[in-house]
Amino acid sequence: QVQLQESGPGLVKPSETLSLTCTVSGASISNHYWTWIRHSPGTGLEWIGYIYYRGSTNYNPSLKSRVTISVDTSKNQLSLWLSSLTAADTAVYYCATWDYGRYWYSDLWGRGTLVTVSS
Amino acid sequence: QSVLTQPSSVSGAPGQRVTIPCTGSSSNIGAGFAVNWYQQVPGTAPKLLIYGNINRPSGVPDRFSGSESGTSASLAITGLQAEDEADYYCQSYDSTLSGSVFGGGTKLTVL
């Protein structure tokens, strides 16, 4: 079955850049839209942005100046970069599918990876 | 401040029915964009519960149902069970943001 697995550093320092990878197995990353979402206890779920396998993207305006999402079809992976980190970026980060253009839901999620921003 | 508004908590006794409202605006629910609902047990990834306002994915019990009207939507849970205790989030698409928006989440407590 299709599985998504996030990976990256669990601890990053303030002002640094976070880099996360999502590896997709059991399906091709092509012909699909993918999204990154984060969850923090105080904020709940927050949409970060999406990418189509051909590279088109859009980001949450509140994060747009700091975020980049890319896709590597050869590795069946998508990546997230978030710069100028602060404690407010501490969250569990998820990659997920996205039903773009119809119902706009995410039915397949990774297990998530906890990122703590602290010196 | 979430784009979609939900109560922070609701509660009900086993066997009872509870509803969780989700209020949006003319750029998301009111524009006709579908509302989806997720259940999140602490420490786990969100699980899709309802999509397209009223549809249940395979495996979701028919105790869960969704509705939508105007700029609002609602999730109803009948025959409450202890295992339903979780956080519930509504989600839609927003044309102003050109992206996904979530409610702030509602914690369901089964008394």
pLDDT tens, position by position, A35-79: 999 999 878 999 999 999 998 999 999 999 999 999 999 999 999
Is the CB of A47 less than 8 angstroms away from the CB of B99? yes
Type and span of the H or E element at B4: none
Is the CB of A45 less than 8 angstroms away from the CB of B33? no
The residue in chain B having the minimum alpha-carbon distance to the alpha carbon of residue A4 is B45
d(CA B67, nearest CA chain A) in Å: 14
Residue B106 has a pLDDT of 97
Task: Say if A62 is an interface residue toward chain B (CB within 8 Å).
Answer: no
d(CA B63, CA B60): 8
pLDDT tens-digit profile of B59-110? 999 999 999 999 999 999 999 999 999 999 999 999 999 999 999 999 999 9
pLDDT tens-digit profile of A4-16? 999 999 999 999 9
Is the CB of A49 less than 8 angstroms away from the CB of B99? yes
Q: What percent of chain A has pLDDT over 70?
A: 100
Share of chain A residues as helix, strand and coil, in percent rounded to the nearest 5 = 5, 50, 45
Helices (H) and strands (E) in chain A, counts: 0, 10
Chain B residues lying within 8 Å of A98, measured CB to CB = 100
Q: B68-106 burial, b for 16+ CB within 10 Å, e for fewer? A: beebbbbbebeebeeebebbbbbbbbbeebebbbbbbbb
Considering CB atoms only, which of B57, B93, B104 is closest to A104?
A: B93
Task: Say if A105 is an interface residue toward chain B (CB within 8 Å).
Answer: yes
Structure tokens at B26: 């003319």
Q: In terms of pLDDT, which residue wins out, B1 or A79? A: A79
d(CA A105, CA A109): 11
The β-bridge partners of B94 are B99
Chain A residues lying within 8 Å of B51, measured CB to CB = 99, 103, 105, 107
d(CA B14, nearest CA chain A) in Å: 26
- Reduced to 3 states (helix: H, G, I; strand: E, B; else coil), residue A93 is strand
* pLDDT at residue A31 is higher than 90: no
Task: Say if A49 is an interface residue toward chain B (CB within 8 Å).
Answer: yes
Identify each DSSP E strand in chain B by its residue range.
9-12, 18-23, 36-40, 47-50, 64-69, 72-77, 86-94, 99-102, 106-110
Residue A96 has a pLDDT of 97
Chain A residues lying within 8 Å of B91, measured CB to CB = 45, 104-106
pLDDT tens-digit profile of B32-61? 999 999 999 999 999 999 999 999 999 999
Nearest alpha carbon to residue B43 among A112, A72, A48, A56? A112
Residue A43 has a pLDDT of 85
* pLDDT at residue A91 is higher than 90: yes
Exposed/middle/buried for residue A78 (C-beta within 10 Å: 0-12, 13-18, 19+):
buried
Residue B1 has a pLDDT of 78
The residue in chain A having the minimum alpha-carbon distance to the alpha carbon of residue B35 is A103
d(CA B35, nearest CA chain A) in Å: 8
Query: For the CA atoms of chain B, what is the radius of gyration?
Result: 13
d(CA A65, nearest CA chain B) in Å: 14
HSE-CB of B13 using CA atoms within 13 angstroms:
0
